[in-house]
Structure 1
Amino acid sequence: MTDILQALQEVPELSQVPKEQLQWLLDHSELLTYEAGALLFKSGEIPQNMFIILGGRIRIWFEQLGKAREIGSLEKGDISGMLPYSRLKMTKGNGLVMDQALVLATNKELFPEMIRTQYDLVEALVHSMANRIRNFTTLQVQNEKLLSLGKLSAGLAHELNNPSSAVVRVAKDLHQHLSYLPENFKRVIAIRLENEQVDRVNERLQERIQQGVSSLSLLQRKRLEENMEEWLEDHEVSLSDDALEVLIDYGFTEDDLDFILDHVNTREFTPVMNWVGNVLTTEKYVKEIKDASQRISDLVTSIKSYSHMDQDQDRHKVDIREGIHSTRRMLDHKFRRAKVDFETEFTEPFPKIHANPGQLNQVWTNLLDNALDALEPTGGIITFKGKQDGACLYVEIVDNGPGVPEEVQNLIFDPFFTTKEMGKGTGLGLDVVRRIVLSHKGDIKLESRPGRTVFTLSFPLQ
């Protein structure tokens, strides 16, 4: 027993407990050996013992929707089971022995005597219970945050990849296009035009640049291309394929060709129009780079707005609509993938509330993400509604998905409860939402039936 007593002294939570009190614990407990595959405790049973793990490893898991969900493990030096002053009524998980385990079990019937006579031991065990709750909750909340961050990061990587790839591709095309300029320059300087002729050509060119690239259907583009080729053939002039393509992009028609031909002679028409094509090609590439760069800039702005990187994290007056819209932009990729529309209905006047905007964005993220997961197979609509009623601001998040099954609606805000597949959720998303709302002195309720799910949040204005 001397070795066991020494092992108890090496348990971190019991290291400051007097030796005689540890001896009392050892004298009033049972030393048990569990083989791999045995259950130390079982979900749904009434806890009877405190367990101190002196060797081996125990996996803690519970079953949900027919699947095993691991929530932690016990190893040498860990304390589990029923503890003094614990309000645990029923074991919520299973303790599966993975490696042969040596366990010191103390029946809870001894707790009253322990409380009366072994003060230091009880104090250490109470601290152990508090630490266990705090550490376990912190770990799971962190897992939930990491899961949410992973989803956002994957979406942002996808969103940033498209415009950044476009910048690289178009920059390469622009570089190749500009490499032809020295040769084209020879043709340009050979053109003999009066200033007035140049002004007329530039006038029409700038009109088309201001108009921008035309939105043409395939049929419209094909018809315009045929008309332009027919015009060129009738007037016995030619254009490069690249020049003709970009002219069509910018909406040039036979009327534009007639206009330019009226101001330059036939001999100068082809080099002039090829020069126009070169200008439009450069303009098109620059515009594409500008648009892609602006998309990247908008995403960075949305990230800053969502995370409030340039603001302090203290509570202050905020317009929650800004956070809702920035969160919507952060999840834009998922809305498109799920084919879900987003609508808002905010009734004026819409007051600000005293809140932490970063925490509220966690609320909007979790609620939107859950609604998107529910709607993803078939698409649908998510609507944010908001209005002031008396001394409170009410926000409703409505979706037309399949709804939350009635038998689990009372469990939806419980920690670790989830209806998602394994690996898609920790079961803490709505628990985090509830705790954030309550920390703002607000409330959250769920109403759900097939075709309509509504989360109603209320926040005090003062």
Structure 2
Amino acid sequence: MKGINANWLQTIDALKAVPVEQLEWFIENSQIRALEADALLFKPNTPVDATYIVYSGKVSMYVLQNSEAREFALAGPGAINGYLPFSRGKINFGYGRAMENTLLLSFPIEKINEMICTHLELTEAMVHVMTSRVREFTTRQQQDEKMMALGKLSAGLAHELNNPAAAMLRNARTMGKYLTAARDDFRDIMNLNIDPEVIDKVSEFMNKLMSERLNLPISLKAHTLLEDELITWLSARHIRSAGPLAETLADFRISGNDLAGLTIDLPEVSVEKILHWAMNHLLTESKLSDIVYASQRIVELVGSVKIYTHMDQSQDKQYTDIREGIRNTLTMLRHKIVQNQISVSEEFEPGLPPVNAMPGELNQVWTNLIDNSIDALADIRPGNLKISSYQEADHVIICFSDNGKGISPDIVNDIFEPFFTTKDIKNGSGLGLDVVKRIIRLHGGSIHVESVPGNTLFKVRIPING
């Protein structure tokens, strides 16, 4: 074809420095392929038989995950794909489909060795294309996996933060009502002219309740019996709103005998007003305590996020406690763990040494392994996840085991391959375990899997001084 010539090839950045005679040789030994829209250029498990340069049109490269297409590259005019010198990829793992009518220059794989031996600059250019492609593909893999992990974590974290935040708002609004009622009660009490010694006695009693009984546990049966007792005591003295008052007093483990001791020196006319003031005061203290607890929970969650992501810290290797990373990962995934009713047990060897590693990268490992176990236990009752660690010579061993359905022997050797997944495309990218394996190898470690129905074990080895 007239337009496909050495001058056109030199408009491609990767080939612009290649001598014209080498580009002419490349064209002479190539074929022009025309693909109609939607035609397949290649499909999975077929040999990679040529180097392709797109002249016009577009080719989408994708894999199928549970019958849904996941595109990993789109090749337009000037794109170089297919087999490249010294590439170890000899088999296509995905599909290549023309998105529109497409013209390609196809250089056969049988001519690669001749090119390597006789055309140095052309070979160097093609090798550079290959290394750039690997680098871009790896970066995209990491980014895709990080974004998917971020989506999972943010959903769980939003739920975890929403609960204490909503509780704080709810309790703050309720406190406003109690404080308004307390002002009215205080005005009524001031008009009673009660002896200062009696006021001191009531105040001492309230302080004792706050310090000794606030948030103490009580069984439903004990609470019901106590509430019935209080209703009887209050009704006998014609105290208004005996039911709600009894319920509140029972929450603070106040008995009829407590009330008898509190009111023995009070004028009868003041008992009702004092008790209603006490109820509002107790409820206000209770709501304040709930707000403090919810605030602490938010602070803990934010702290876990900061540690998990290692914000404001160097991305280089540093000695880090893997137990802290795993526990913060569990905090990030807590919502999903609770939602699936999974019991998590930790068995960390005392005195486990810190490892020289990139904490943020290791957290990706823990996230993927724990998240996979959670998914495997989604329909298992009871679901159990056990995480253990111990030192073995100059390595730290971290084990993740669950009692899920297990991994089929037919696919156990494929689970670390990129884009391989048994999950729905919305729940799995097929990159998680590939990322896990690469990060562990980056640290000089290894990962091993054993699986039978009811017991799946992932064993990670990380060198202490990696």
For residue 383 of structure 1, the aligned residue among 381, 386, 401 is 386
8 A contact 2:34–2:103 mirrored in 1: yes
Distance 1:112 1:332 in 2: 55
Deviations 1:66-105 (A, max 9, x none): 6544333222221111223333322222211121111111
Gaps spanning 5+ residues in structure 2: where?
A: none
> Which residue in 1 is equivalent to 2:276?
274
For residue 371 of structure 1, the aligned residue among 367, 370, 373 is 373
8 A contact 2:66–2:425 mirrored in 1: no
> Which residue in 2 is equivalent to 1:191?
192
Distance 1:426 1:287, change over 3 A: same
Distance 1:230 1:358 in 2: 61
Deviation at 1:370, TM superposition (A): 0.7
CA RMSD in angstroms comes to 2.1
Deviation at 1:226, TM superposition (A): 2.8
Deviations 1:46-82 (A, max 9, x none): 2222111112122212345665443332222211112
Deviation at 1:286, TM superposition (A): 1.0
Deviation at 1:413, TM superposition (A): 1.8
- Mapping for residues 56-67 of structure 1, pairs under 5 Å: 56-63=57-64
Deviations 1:264-300 (A, max 9, x none): 1211111111111121121122112111111101101
> Which residue in 2 is equivalent to 1:131?
132
Is 1:442 matched up with 2:458?
no
Distance 1:259 1:238 in 2: 20
> Which residue in 2 is equivalent to 1:429?
432
| TM-score, normalization by structure 1 | 0.93
Is 1:255 matched up with 2:257?
yes
> Which residue in 2 is equivalent to 1:405?
408
Distance 2:462 2:183 in 1: 67
| SS of equivalent to 2:412 | helix
Deviation at 1:433, TM superposition (A): 1.6
Deviations 1:18-57 (A, max 9, x none): 3343333223322221111211112222222211111212
> Which residue in 2 is equivalent to 1:322?
324
Distance 1:297 1:280, change over 3 A: same
8 A contact 1:240–1:274 mirrored in 2: no
> Which residue in 1 is equivalent to 2:344?
342
Report which stretch shifted further, 227-236 or 126-135. 227-236
Distance 1:371 1:244, change over 3 A: same
| SS of equivalent to 2:97 | strand
Deviation at 1:10, TM superposition (A): 2.9
Deviations 1:366-418 (A, max 9, x none): 11011011001224111111222333322211111111111111122222222
Distance 1:2 1:312 in 2: 55
The letter for the 2-side match of 1:261 is T
Report which stretch shifted further, 452-461 or 212-221. 212-221
Is 1:151 matched up with 2:145?
no
Is 1:458 matched up with 2:461?
yes
Size of the aligned set, in residue pairs, is: 462
Determine what percentage of the aligned residue pairs are the same residue. Answer: 39
Report which stretch shifted further, 142-151 or 39-48. 39-48
Deviation at 1:343, TM superposition (A): 0.6
Is 1:16 matched up with 2:17?
yes
Report which stretch shifted further, 319-328 or 151-160. 319-328
8 A contact 2:65–2:425 mirrored in 1: no
8 A contact 2:66–2:423 mirrored in 1: no
Deviation at 1:172, TM superposition (A): 1.7
8 A contact 1:317–1:352 mirrored in 2: yes
> Which residue in 1 is equivalent to 2:354?
352
> Which residue in 2 is equivalent to 1:160?
161
Deviation at 1:430, TM superposition (A): 1.4
Distance 1:175 1:237 in 2: 24
8 A contact 1:362–1:433 mirrored in 2: yes
Deviation at 1:461, TM superposition (A): 3.4
The letter for the 2-side match of 1:55 is S
Report which stretch shifted further, 8-17 or 445-454. 8-17
Is 1:228 matched up with 2:230?
yes
| SS of equivalent to 2:263 | helix
Report which stretch shifted further, 243-252 or 275-284. 243-252
8 A contact 1:415–1:427 mirrored in 2: yes
Distance 1:172 1:348, change over 3 A: closer
> Which residue in 1 is equivalent to 2:31?
30
Distance 1:196 1:182, change over 3 A: closer
Gaps spanning 5+ residues in structure 1: where?
A: none
Distance 1:84 1:344 in 2: 49
Distance 1:106 1:7 in 2: 16
Deviations 1:161-183 (A, max 9, x none): 11111111221222233233443
> Which residue in 2 is equivalent to 1:3?
3
The letter for the 2-side match of 1:141 is Q
| SS of equivalent to 2:459 | strand
Distance 2:124 2:463 in 1: 40
Distance 2:135 2:112 in 1: 23
| SS of equivalent to 1:226 | helix
8 A contact 2:235–2:242 mirrored in 1: no
Distance 1:370 1:385 in 2: 16
| TM-score, normalization by structure 2 | 0.93
Deviations 1:248-272 (A, max 9, x none): 2212221121112212121111111
Distance 1:332 1:14 in 2: 52
The letter for the 2-side match of 1:186 is R
| SS of equivalent to 2:74 | strand
